[in-house]
Structure 1
């Protein structure tokens, strides 16, 4: 048996069998139907919504920074983080020893100025009588009158200093300017605060946590479709399985440029009746800027599909890939953005054929078809059946978090 296998004739016959088997297998592979070589998906009608997304920060609508107008050491502290306070409630007290001493000094100056005024008044009255009897000159009488006026002015100045020191003394007791919740406390008992050119911030009080706002930075390419009153949906990491809703209140005109990227602050009002949304949380915001009802939809995977070099259709087999203009011009006139062209592939007579289409809005999964030769129910190629990475999920580009 070993001799037969080692003979040249047996080896030749074995080679012929192997070659024949390969040819048969190759022909069988080549005979696979085109529908089995490509993955197909149908054109369908449905609703479509185009959204723009950005990250933002949740902030109180009204956040008051409480500071101090005088310097001193914190003597007593009456509130802490998350304390609910009422308007006029005492928050802390500063050491008022120096301020109280200054006020006493000013009060003493008032007494001294009052005594000087009494003396000047008496001199003026005496000079008036003597001047009437022509015992003193006019100059001496005028000097006495001027001395009385100066003493009166000094008394008023001393009294004003007392009022100033009284006000400074009252400033040593820090009171809440609004009713709300303390969200930040920047001082402790024994700490010295210095009020010089810039008022130091002692507390931050949120006036009402049941109403919040989101400050979201949208790119300049997306901000053009955002309008006041639009509904915004968002989520936060603290509640990943819950979706929240807000309303666009303002698109601020002041741009922010960072590394040549221009963004605009969009303010979104948010109701927070449960007060579960906290200041500083990161919000993942999504705003619907365009919507279509009963639109003709094509999968984005079909628009991204490109046949291999050996599968390229011959020139002139179909359209050249430039989408024809939609026949119904009235349909386009009602849309805010112009159509752009795209190309998809269909199977025609067992071969790939490109078809040009005019496209509208997209939600990163499907794209609206505004014009072309496709209709609902037509099958388009979305990938190769034998390609391991031809699924739409693996070929789709990364995008921002959708809601």
Structure 2
């Protein structure tokens, strides 16, 4: 290391000291310290927004407290028929369409009937011929009977020979046989006439019961045949359903079968009308298990069906432990029980408003309805409530966390 020449070092006796901070700078620094203190004080005095879990006010039904089991199914008509003709023919008239209500015996369609009507008229004529033949045979029998009686008298007086007497008896016997034959022929002719008449009747397709036409399978000009064996032939003209026999076919798990019995009350909800509830009752538990799905078909009768229910609608069935009367089938407001603070007359919930503050609303807590509890108060469906409010105060600002 090079040696330092200390002799060259000098102290500057004329230099001035570094200037001190000016008064303006000291004032700015004082203001900054005061501002930071005020901010710190405000932070300590003003509470921060609390992070809370939330839930919502929902609509519930009183029957949920009696719910044992839920199932799904479809609305079906116990009485349903594909209306067709026993005979074969071409449709010449169709008098109904989908949705029409018809009475039992009403003609819904007619087939061409000229050929069967001709057969019927021929059968009627044959019946008349057979009836005339029977009348002739009866007259012949009466004449032979009178002749035989006369010959009996004459034979006893020995005025006629034995040969003449035998001829009279033979004639009477032939007349008896002829009458029997004519009577049998008349019976056969009447049977043929009835058969021909039924053939004409088969061309008149009638409603088998009171119901509603739910589909139409044929149109005017289509060939209708009982077995639909002909090319493009129709087996049925219309399909009818008796709407008074509507029920729900619900599939119940085999493991839950012990909870189901005939006569058990049910509640039915249709996907088409989710805000309505229909009373039901188990009418039949089909004694067979579906192997592939391990379910049993349960038929539920709809006790208060109306015109809006249609076959093949999707339905949900709730099997209940007890029946629910009509008065208790109205919806009520409900919420998660953890959203209710206090007890008795002091029960309340905290509603979160649009500005992130809570508002205490007094409520009257009711029965437990499944996973929620009935509440009564100035609330409406969809409002947001605070879960586990604890010592939350009215008007406090909150920060919403994920809803439960």
Using structure 2 for the length normalisation, give the TM-score. Answer: 0.53
Post-superposition offset of 1:93:
0.8
Residue in 2 aligned with 1:38? Answer: none
- Separation (CA, whole Å) in 1 of partners of 2:320 and 2:139: 85
- Aligned-partner SS, 1:271: coil
Deviation, structure 1 residue 289: 4.4
Deviation at 1:154, TM superposition (A): 0.8
Which residue among 42, 56, 80 is the counterpart of 2:97?
A: 80
State which of 312, 315, 318 in structure 2 corresponds to 1:280: 312
Can you list the C-alpha shifts for 1:1-36, whole angstroms capped at 9, x where unaligned?
Answer: xxxxxxxxxxxxxxxxxxxxxxxxxxxxxxxxxxxx
Match of 1:181? 212
Structure 1 counterpart of 2:187: 156
Cα deviation code 1:272-324 (max 9, x no counterpart): 33x33221011122223499xxxxxxx9xxxxxxxxxxxxxxxxxxxxxxxxx
What's the CA shift string for 1:78-132, capped at 9, x where partnerless?
Answer: 1011112234332111111121011111122123223432443344344334444
**Which residues in structure 2 correspond to 1:311-322 (within 5 Å)?**
none
| Aligned twin of 1:238 | 272
> How many Å apart are 1:191 and its aligned residue?
1.6
SS in 2 for 1:81: coil
| Closer, same or farther: CA 137–205 of 1 in aligned 2, 3 Å | same
Partner Cα separation in structure 1 for residue 115 and residue 131 of structure 2: 25
SS in 2 for 1:224: helix
- Give me the whole-angstrom Cα distance separating, in 2, the residues matched to 1:245 and 1:122: 74
2:248 matched residue in structure 1 = 214
Contact 1:72 1:193 in 2 (8 A): yes
Q: Contact (CA 8 Å) 1:226, 1:289: kept in 2 or not? A: no
Aligned equivalent of 1:54: 71
Note the residue ranges of structure 2 that are not aligned, 5 or more in a row.
1-63, 152-163, 324-336, 338-369, 373-401
| RMSD over equivalenced CA pairs, Å | 3.8
Contact 2:144–2:168 (Cα < 8 Å) also in 1: no
Among 282, 293, 298, the alignment partner of 1:249 is: 282
Q: What residue in structure 1 maps to residue 352 of structure 2? A: none
More strand by share: 1
Q: 1:120 to 1:246 in 2, by over 3 A?
A: same
Give the TM-score taking structure 1 as reference length. 0.53
Contact 1:251 1:267 in 2 (8 A): yes
**Residues 175, 153 of structure 1: CA spacing in aligned structure 2 closer, same or farther, 3 A cutoff?**
same
Select 2:178's aligned residue among 141, 147, 159.
147
Q: What SS does the corresponding residue of 2:259 show, helix, strand or coil?
A: coil
Partner of 1:226: 260
1:269 aligns to 2:302 (yes or no) = yes
Is 2:116 the partner of 1:93? no
> Structure 1, residues 155-193: CA drift from partner, whole Å, max 9, x if none?
132123223322332332222233332112222211222
Query: 165, 170, 173: which is aligned to 2:201?
Result: 170
- How many residues of Structure 1 are paired with residues of Structure 2 in the alignment? 253
Provide the C-alpha distance between the structure 1 equivalents of 2:322 and 2:128, rounded to a whole number of angstroms. Answer: 77
Is the contact made by 1:218 and 1:266 (CA closer than 8 Å) also made in structure 2? no
**Conservation of the 8 A alpha-carbon contact between 1:231 and 1:245:** no
Which secondary structure state, in structure 1, belongs to the residue aligned with residue 237 of structure 2? Answer: strand
Q: Partners in 2 of 1:54 and 1:246 — Cα distance?
A: 15
**Aligned partner of 1:202 among 217, 231, 237:** 237
Quote how far apart the aligned CAs of 1:140 are: 4.1
Alpha-carbon shift at residue 77 of structure 1 (Å): 0.3
> 1:54 deviation in Å?
1.7
Q: In 2 relative to 1, CA 48–169 (structure 1 residues): closer, same or farther, beyond 3 Å? A: closer
Greater mean alpha carbon deviation, residues 226-235 or residues 74-83: 226-235
Closer, same or farther in 2 for the Cα pair 1:196/1:107, shift >3 Å? farther
**Structure-2 separation of matches of 1:48 and 1:158:** 72
Q: d(CA) in 2 for partners of 1:278 and 1:208? A: 8
Distance 2:139 2:309 in 1: 73
